[in-house]
Amino acid sequence: MRSGLRFLGVLVTMLLMAPAAPAQQPAQQSAPLPLMKVWKTPTCGCCGKWVRHMEEAGFRVEVTDVDDVDPIKKANGLPLNLASCHTALVGGYVVEGHVPASDVRRLLREKPAILGLAAPGMPAGSPGMDVPGSPPYDVLSVRKDGTASVYATHKLK
């Protein structure tokens, strides 16, 4: 019994004298993503899939169904030659069509002085347009003067 108590006393002494463990740092959390407002037609299934893609990536999305999305595009300075089936606004940028969430996150992180991003048309293989074996497609950086250049190229794995 004495040896058991002696062991317990030594153990308590060791614990009391041990250096304190460093405090756990809370996990770095990124700032919440801004609200994304999306305009689409009520019957477009691929738009609904893209909205789910954005929500799964952490975006809060507010959807407005309209019969014609072109007035939204025009009101926000998007050239119609870069149009797709839906238009979104997030963080002061226009996001046109099936742009992957990773590109939108990069846009919001880097904050370039542009109008926004566009995936013109409805590129096969883009989020919401899931087609196996699709060719690569480009997401364009749209400048405020309406000109565009490649922002990212996406290839299916």
> HEC states along the chain?
CHHHHHHHHHHHHHHHHCCCCCCCCCCCCCCCCCCEEEEECCCCHHHHHHHHHHHHCCCCEEEEECCCCHHHHHHCCCCHHHCCCCEEEECCEEEEECCCHHHHHHHHHHCCCCCEEEECCCCCCCCCCCCCCCCCEEEEEECCCCCEEEEEEECCC
**pLDDT category, 32, cuts 50, 70, 90?**
confident
What does the pLDDT look like over 36-93, one tens digit per residue? 999 999 998 999 999 999 999 999 999 999 999 999 999 999 999 999 999 999 999 9
**Whole-structure pTM value:** 0.79
How many Cα atoms are found within 13 Å in the side-chain-facing hemisphere of 4? Answer: 1
Domain boundaries, the chain: 33-154
Mean pLDDT calculated for residue range 149-154: 97
What CATH code is assigned to 33-154? 3.40.30.10
What does the pLDDT look like over 101-139, one tens digit per residue? 999 999 999 999 999 999 999 999 999 998 888 999 999
What values do phi and psi take at 11, rounded to 5?
-60, -45
Tell whether the model's pLDDT for residue 25 goes beyond 90. Answer: no
Residue 127 has a pLDDT of 94
Is the CB of residue 112 less than 8 Å from the CB of residue 141? yes
